[in-house]
Amino acid sequence: MKGLLYKDFYCLKQNMKYIFAIFLLFGCIFIPQGNSSIIGTFVIIFPMLVITTLSYDQAGKWDRFALTMPITRKMLVRSKYILFLLMLLFGMFVGAIFSAISMLFVKNFDMMEIGLETSAVAAVALWFGILLLPLIYKFGVERARLFLLLLFALCGGSIMALVSIFKDTPLPSFTPQQLAPFIGAFLVISVIAYAVSYLISVKIYQKKELS
């Protein structure tokens, strides 16, 4: 199965340089302002690259080829779920570097806040995987992309709705210490849901015909 991950890394390697170029540009703009939202972007964007590898696989009928090798359907699915997690961790790592650099510019940087923010975004990113990967295995990358758009629209829409509903009520403010247990719990639930999502994807893919 390591071979499958190797293959995907080679796939991402060629896209990586463009992504890094964009992030460097972003970093140059945002870091000096002490804007930490760039970290969240990394944590979301990197795992999304798994979809790129899946669309390459689909276009080249890689799965069909791979299954003629000593590779089971389960291993194919598992490699993508592992890749997603690795990319998530990688995104957090790159984010951490960016925040370290930010600290040089902004003196009152709250590590606790950054940590919590990153964990919350990581949990949200996990949910993209939780929902999207089974959809991709069921409907294929192209149609699943539409779901992704829908998901983004739904997230954006509900945030807008919440904002408009609560715009007159003063929001209670929490300290990071108060928020931590909630974010922690959310993260734990997300990880469990991720495992369940993997099992569902395996089930879907076992039944699939690769003609």
Neighbours of 196 (CB within 10 A): 11
Q: Which of 68, 164, 173, 175 binds other proteins (CB under 8 A)?
A: 68
- Given the complex with other proteins, which of 53 and 201 has the nearer CB atom? 53
Residues ≥6 apart with Cβ < 8 Å to 46: 87, 88, 90, 91, 94
> x/- site string to other proteins, residues 169 to 208, per CB under 8 A?
--------------------------------------x-
Neighbours of 31 (CB within 10 A): 19
| Cα separation, 157 vs 165, whole angstroms | 12
How many residues make contact with other proteins (CB under 8 A)? 26
CA–CA–CA angle 30, 33, 35 (5° rounding): 60
Residue 119 tokens read as 């964990």
Minimum Å distance from CB 49 to other proteins?
13
Which residue stretch of 57-65, 111-119, 171-179, 193-201 sits at the interface with other proteins (rule: CB under 8 A)?
Answer: 57-65
Minimum Å distance from CB 147 to other proteins?
25
Minimum Å distance from CB 58 to other proteins?
11
Neighbours of 39 (CB within 10 A): 23
Q: Which of 70, 170, 172, 181 binds other proteins (CB under 8 A)?
A: 70
| Cα separation, 155 vs 33, whole angstroms | 27
Q: What is the binding site for other proteins (CB under 8 A)? A: 1-4, 6-7, 10-11, 14, 56-57, 60-62, 64-65, 67-72, 207, 209-211
